[in-house]
Structure 1
Amino acid sequence: MNEVNNNERRFKRVCVFCGSNSGNRTVFSDAALDLGHELVKRKIDLVYGGGSVGLMGLISQTVYDGGCHVLGVIPKALMSLEISGQTVGEVRTVSDMHERKSLMARESDAFIALPGGYGTMEEVLEMITWSQLGIHDKPVGLLNVDGYYNSLLALFDNGVKEGFIKPAARHIVLSAPTAKELIMKMEVPLNSTYYCCSFLPY
């Protein structure tokens, strides 16, 4: 990750978590395409789950066609489920989901979650947890397409209210309805008084 000045930071590679399905409405596919174009516009490479179907296929193809590097990371057991035809860019196969997330985290400067199912939510929640524990200090954002993540954000707020999430930790999670707005938020440096030094090389 490149630090530009005290008020802004730039990313070389962003990890995008998203579904191997496209959802029931075109607004989700449109958001994946928009995020892909925004990454290309900013010359940011993509790290993602390695699939060629659903939102994964859309964003990877968009970033690849735009001339940026695409790294897909996929467990061997999921190749038949998440790959249809050829994938684009570089694909690394790993043994399991834990290795997948670790590699994606090491290769990325920031994390964005598009709408997705249990897998997408589990992945982004783990990155939030790792940030809270000081394993990394990379920004984590939810692309809240048409309010898709409103209920999850409300759950986080309730966790603060009920004393299970520290108020400072609530600010780990950024959200915005568009890719441009979200990346702009993520470029603002995090409050260094909350985060401890990383103790793993992510």
Structure 2
Amino acid sequence: MIYSRILTILVLIIVLHQANAQCGQNASKVGATCYCISGFYGPNDSNCQQCSNNTFSLQGVSNTGPSVTQFSACSYCQAGYYVTTPGTTTALPGCLQCPSGATTPNPLSQPGSISSCVCFDSNGAALSSLSQSCQCNIGFYGSPQTTQSDPNRCLPCPANYTSPIGTTNSTGCKKQLDSSILTAFLQLIITSILF
């Protein structure tokens, strides 16, 4: 009887120890299961390898397991990169870095363009095939912030002033034409032409 109790206690200690066992390097627990952490992949939590070529994986069954390959797991581009070509079962996705001062809000898996990147400066103009660097938006001037921790450096033009995209100093802010004056002027021209 005593041996039975001791054996039960020993089994319980072993089970509890295994349940609290540490995950392998570059792995962590989700619930009670160890998985490779995001950005890594492997057949189990003891053999996690980092995704290559600026690709990224999401933690869970998609990046840890016996049938997981780099191609199946690392199907995202890491934050700060956008997807030029999607991944396949035999090729990683093509990942191109966002311009200086810009990033992608999350890892991406769908093909896109530079417009997937967002300038750190909230007063920056949207990126596009025509505008591939972070610049201050219409009505603002300055140099956009270059890191996420910097404050916004695109400052608004004074009231009733505006500026084109990319204006770097306050002298580029020009007084807006009052729409009521423009309307009156156009009415005067139309009236003089008609009569």
TM-score (norm 1): 0.21
Higher RCO structure, 1 or 2 (CA under 8 Å, sep 6+): 1
TM-score (norm 2): 0.22
